[in-house]
């Protein structure tokens, strides 16, 4: 995911696995706080850049057969029991057949491609879907992103993590992190602002 190391010190493919406890935390919170997904069964869930697919695992554990999980990963990865359909060695950013398909897209995207992942996710979502990305809180900064992202699509909710995830070597880095919830049905805008909360244990 995101971090501030020079490019020659980064993990290949921006491979920063999300500690599973954080995946459980956001999935539980979103389910408790009322995603009303009753119209679609099974719920179609996508984790792009899935790695070992910890977000698929968390929602599968929470919802069982009521959710159908799909993972897309550019590297060659093994299919895990919690992923119903795995597209390994597949570039999520290459145009594909999935338009308007998913109810929820959730991941920790490669930070260098976060904007592209968001745009591709919007294309693959149903109009009432939610996209949830784990990103540096500094995602909200930068004049470039203001024009290219935030003026076009803005989160309805930002869950800041009070405890920083340990992505690599069981160590935190120097960034604050948050889950950004893009609720497409609400058409949140920069002018309306968004809700902010802490995602505690
Ligand atoms: C920050 S890791 C997160 C992995 C997993 N979602 C998690 O939360 O543990 C980002 C993942 O995206 C994959 N990735 C990078 N570019 C990609 C692309 N264009 N298409 C699909 N996967 C990609 C990387 O190989 C890496 O596994």
Fold designation for 16-198: Rossmann fold (3.40.50)
| Residue 80 to residue 54: CA distance in whole angstroms | 10
pLDDT for res 37? 57
* Domain coordinates in residue numbering, the chain: 16-198
Q: Strand pairing of 157-160 and 177-183?
A: antiparallel
Nearest atom in ligand 1 to 91's CA = 20
Mutate to test the pocket of ligand 1, among 53, 74, 90, 166 (most ligand atoms within 8 A of CB): 74
DSSP of 21-84, one letter per residue? HHHHHHHHHHHHTT---TTSSSEEEEEES-TT-HHHHHHHHHHGGGEEEEEE-SS--PPPTT-S
pLDDT for res 7? 58
pLDDT for res 40? 67
* CA distances in angstroms from 177 to 16, 70, 140, listed in the order given: 13, 25, 11
pLDDT for res 3? 47
109 CA to middle of ligand 1, Å?
6
49 CA to middle of ligand 1, Å?
3
Question: Closest residue (by CA) to atom 22 of ligand 1?
Answer: 49
pLDDT for res 188? 83
Please tell me the total number of residues recorded for the chain in this structure: 201
**Per-residue pLDDT tens digits for 147-182:** 999 999 999 999 999 999 999 888 888 899 999 999
17 CA to middle of ligand 1, Å?
9
pLDDT for res 178? 98
pLDDT-flagged residues of the chain (< 50): 1-3
Nearest atom in ligand 1 to 12's CA = 25
194 CA to middle of ligand 1, Å?
27
């Amino acid at each position: 995911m995101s971090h501030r190391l020079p490019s020659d010190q980064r993990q290949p493919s921006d491979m920063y696995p999300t500690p599973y406890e954080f995946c459980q935390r956001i999935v539980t919170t979103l389910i408790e706080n009322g995603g009303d997904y009753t119209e679609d069964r099974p719920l179609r869930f996508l984790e792009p850049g899935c790695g070992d697919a910890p977000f698929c695992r968390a929602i599968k554990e929470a919802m069982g057969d009521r959710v159908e999980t799909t993972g897309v990963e550019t590297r060659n990865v093994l299919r895990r029991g919690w992923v119903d359909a795995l597209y390994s060695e597949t570039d999520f950013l290459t145009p594909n057949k999935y338009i308007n398909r998913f109810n929820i897209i959730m991941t920790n995207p490669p930070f260098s491609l976060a904007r592209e992942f968001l745009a591709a996710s919007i294309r693959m979502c149903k109009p009432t879907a939610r996209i949830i990305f784990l990103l540096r809180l500094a995602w909200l900064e930068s004049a470039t992103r203001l024009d290219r992202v935030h003026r076009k699509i803005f989160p309805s909710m930002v869950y800041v993590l009070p405890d920083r995830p340990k992505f690599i070597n069981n160590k935190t880095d120097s960034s604050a992190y948050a889950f950004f919830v893009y609720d497409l049905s609400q058409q949140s805008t920069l002018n309306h602002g968004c809700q902010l909360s802490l995602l505690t244990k």
